[in-house]
Chain A
Amino acid sequence: MKKRMISILITAAICASILAACGSETKETTSGVEGGPETGVENSADEKVLRIAFPDVLTTVDVANVTSATMLKEVAGVCETLVHADEDFTLQPNLATEWAMTGDNTWEFKLRDDVTFHDGTHMDAEAVKWSMEWELKNNSAFAGSTFIESVEVIDDLTVQFTTSRKTTDLPAALSYVGTVVVAPSSVDDSGNFVKAVGTGYFKQDAFDEVSGTFECSVYDGYWQPVETNVTRRIVRCITDAGARSLAVQNGEIDIASDVPFSDLETLAGSENVQVSKFNTARTYFYEYNMKKDIFQDERVRKALIYAINKEEIVNDVLLGVGGVPKGILMDDMPWANIDVDTYDYDSDKAQSLLEEAGYTDSDKDGYLDKDGEKLTLKLITFTKRPGCQLILQATQGYYANIGIDTSVEILEWSAMNELIQNGDFDMALNSAASAYIPTPAYYMDTYYGDNDIGYVNESVNVLLDECRATTVMEEKYQYSKEAQALAQEDAAIFTPALYGAVFALSKDVENFRYNAAAHDFIVPYETSLK
């Protein structure tokens, strides 16, 4: 009996301590969201709150984290970069007024003198240097994307960047979200990034680390006039596309990006939601495994493009969310060459090209074969972008129509990448941002210059080198266009569709413009509410 009593006591104690632990932590965490989404909305009559859904998980406001920097710069409007990329992909001065290349590996940037951080301090060369060094140290993707090696202060309003290699694209790189400028007071004494003290029109009010909800309100000392009636922005993390759409329909959110494709039609006549489709600077692209004999034959590569009905893919498979490519890149880009052959759908031509290359249905089993071997292609893609799986399945259908047997595999991105590197595939459907750093060389460089599929064309590489070397924009465009034409002629990589995104906005949202040059999506300062 005594033993039993002891055990009951111990059990009770354990249960109690666990419950106590939960209880105390509950209090701690909820206190952080005080004045959260609900209370914020109806706080006072003259508050206009814009609620935006962010499609990723936020766990920090540290600008060295690309996700959080994207949110801070593009969605919340709290932080800014030295250079700004406009909707037509041209570079505009922002926190920097002018810049020049001063040596092979050095650049000088002049800063605006009327900019203050949200803590009231002056935005000067020291602060820029501090920000870049923080990002260089803590952002794993920083150095390899911008090639910045070090930053020196020349005078109060002049900074000098030293790059690890000769690059003429540093100004474009300094529009990248990872290079936002923040005040050193963002970091506390023990070296933790606790608050984003930026230069934007909005200043950080609260951030809940658990749910990722971010709140900001108007900063009175902003350096240029802004016309909007929004006084507060609340950013909520909703990773699921369907959930984002529902949140807008439910009136919980005002702006949601990348909602399901079908919303374009479902919500078209809706009373409280407006939907629109935008083409982004991202593309879907197929890569052939050039290390395999079959793809050494240009006729096979082209036949496989002719077999795909790109218009049908965009209109019926992607439900209109996307664009039919006129070349390799999105045609709104000033450096896009739209004067190239896009191998438009022609299944007869596809079949005759394959026949020329020796692929016929000699054993009458409904599938093409060559030298007694059935033509079977392994198509791979990745999970993150829903459009990829759709295009892949459609491709499978088109190839079945002309007698090509296919197997498909849908993997996590890094796993797909591994298959590509190991050459264990025939065609890979990938998707990438072509203006991550908005320069004519960037996309070409990443996808043709240094690829894992075994495609080499020296003339393309020479043109790309020229494109990278020159500082004259017109020449850059020209070299890039020529390189695009050559690469498209080789057809080692082709674009079946341009990537589109559907936005769902509440009916009250006004003055929202889409900027394809953004890393994710920009909510302009001017966005207002009725």
Chain B
Amino acid sequence: MIKYIVKRMATVLVVLWMVATLTYFTVHVTPGDTATAILYSVGGESAVNSDNLERVRSKYDLDRPVYEQYFEWVINAFKGKLGTSYKYNKPVAYMLKLRVPNTIRLGLAAVVLSIVISIPFGIVSALHHNRFLDHAGRLFTLLISSFPSFWVAVILIIICALKLKLLPVGGMQGPQSLILPAVTLSMGMTAATTRMMRSSMLDVMGQDYIWVCRAKGLKWNKIITRHMLKNALPPIITVIGLQIGHVLGGAVIIENIFSWPGVGGLLIDAINAKDTPMIEGCVLLIAFGYAMIHLIVDMIYACLDPKLKYGGEDA
């Protein structure tokens, strides 16, 4: 087990390095001069003049060849130094540390919300297989996965904040600010998890041992909780894990719409300012979070299902 974790961590490192490299060169071939973008983001178009450009280039050593800048960045990153943001003039690690808890909070809220909704929904759908509730549930999941989340966000703001005056339109002022972003963010995940829960339950319901339980005269409730759920849950965990990753991605858009001060807003801001150290920091962090979630999911899955070999096939 320990050996497996070490091996996986090594893979994660390699993946992170490749991700970082790809991002680095991506940012560098993006149209637009870096010094211009920095100055524009700092002081508007009026700040962009030849004097200032020269100063910025020498301050951040932007005139060096890209590969030189890249190597220096990689070496520092391995030492755990993510550098200083061009735009904010503050250490990237510090900025991330401030923002990450908000993204985690939003992500967790969305994940918890969708688990709370989707698992009971999935079970009920399966138990009512091919009856009204099942069809309704299936239609519901199809619907919520079909609406674009940013569009739903805009509509929700209008209805809940403006017309009903129930919730704030954005920002982060107390727990009520979390509701709208979390609801929008959880939509896609709720749909996928509900569907998975339903089909996983159906799968288990068709197994012979359930018939044995029935034949033994066990109570139906007991069969559901003791036998069906226990066997239907493991595949759900994989789906939840994968979905958490997607929640991370979706958070970028949702945070922007709701002015939620998380990593997503920082990333979009950094992309516009060509703030390379900041972009790198955000992307690495998200990729790392993604990889760790996958690792944890695989481990939990392995614990729950001993038949499965580590690192085995998916699907």
Contact = CB atoms under 8 A, between A and B. Distances in A.
Interface of A: 3-4, 6-8, 10-11, 14-15, 22, 25-26, 29, 36-38, 57, 59-60, 62, 64-67, 138-141, 143-145, 147, 178, 209-212, 236-240, 243, 246-247, 249-250, 252, 411-419, 430-433, 436-437, 446, 450, 519
B315 to A, nearest CB: 23
A26 B105 contact: yes
A209 B51 CA distance: 31
A83 B296 CA distance: 60
A14 B56 CA distance: 43
B89 A237 contact: no
Contacts, number: 182
Given A250-B162, A250-B168, A417-B48, A22 B31 contact: no
A140 B308 CA distance: 57
B169 A250 contact: yes
Contact of B42 (A66, A247, A412): A66
Contacts of A38: 173-174
Contacts of A178: 43
A236 B88 contact: no
Interface in B10-45: 30-34, 36-40, 42-45
7 contacts: A7-B303, A22-B105, A29-B102, A140-B47, A243-B157, A411-B32, A446-B49
Contacts of A430: 45
A65 B88 contact: yes
Contact of A414 (B88, B169, B172, B274): B274
A450 B43 contact: no
A238 B32 contact: no
Contacts of A240: 170, 256-257, 259
A11 B52 contact: no
Nearest to A30: B101
B152 to A, nearest CB: 15
A509 to B, nearest CB: 19
A344 B296 CA distance: 68
B52 A145 contact: yes
B164 to A, nearest CB: 11
Contacts of A450: 49-50
B52 A415 contact: no
B46 interface: yes
Contacts of A4: 303, 306
B55 interface: yes
Contacts of B89: 60, 62, 64-65, 138
B47 A145 contact: yes
A128 B248 CA distance: 46
Nearest to B40: A413
A141 B51 CA distance: 9
A211 B261 contact: yes
Counting from the closest, the 4 A-B pairs by CB-CB distance are A144-B51, A144-B52, A414-B32, A141-B47
A240 B259 CA distance: 8
A418 B97 CA distance: 34
Given A247-B170, A415-B32, A29 B98 contact: yes
Contacts of A246: 157, 161-162, 169-170
Chain B facing A: main interface SS: helix
A141 B100 contact: no
Interface in B149-187: 157, 161-162, 165, 168-174
B274 to A, nearest CB: 7
Interface residues of B, number: 67
Nearest to A240: B259
B202 interface: no
Contacts of B173: 36-38, 252
A189 B229 CA distance: 60
Given A238-B171, A247-B170, 20 more contacts: A11-B299, A11-B300, A22-B105, A25-B97, A29-B102, A59-B95, A140-B38, A144-B53, A178-B43, A209-B98, A237-B171, A240-B259, A246-B170, A413-B32, A415-B30, A417-B36, A417-B40, A418-B32, A432-B45, A436-B44
A287 to B, nearest CB: 12
A210 B33 contact: no
Interface string B234-274: 00000000000000000000001111010001000100101
A433 B45 contact: yes
Given A14-B296, A22-B104, A446-B49, A411 B31 contact: yes
A366 to B, nearest CB: 33
B99 interface: yes
A38 B42 CA distance: 31
Interface in B45-75: 45-53, 55-56, 59
B214 interface: no
B90 interface: yes
A175 to B, nearest CB: 13
B105 A7 contact: no
A62 B88 CA distance: 10
A145 B39 CA distance: 11
Contact of B259 (A67, A238, A417, A433): A238
A65 B42 contact: yes
Contacts of A519: 44
A510 B52 CA distance: 40
A347 B242 CA distance: 59
Residue of A29, A144, A416 with highest tally of chain B CB at under 10 A: A144
Given A7-B299, A11-B299, A238-B171, A250 B32 contact: no
Given A140-B42, A415-B31, A7 B36 contact: no
B284 interface: no
Nearest to B38: A140
Given A65-B89, A246-B169, A143 B55 contact: yes
Contacts of B36: 413-414, 417-418
A359 to B, nearest CB: 31
B289 to A, nearest CB: 10
A6 B171 contact: no
Given A10-B1, A60-B90, A412-B272, A140 B59 contact: yes
Contacts of A67: 42
Contact of A413 (B45, B50, B90, B172): B45
Contact of A250 (B2, B33, B46, B161): B161
B116 interface: no
B46 A432 contact: yes
Interface in B76-125: 88-90, 95, 97-102, 104-105, 108
Nearest to A59: B88
Most chain-B CB neighbours within 10 Å: which of A140, A210, A417? A140
Contacts of A411: 31-32
A249 B162 contact: yes
B251 to A, nearest CB: 15
B170 A243 contact: yes
A3 B51 contact: no
A50 to B, nearest CB: 17
Nearest to A383: B272
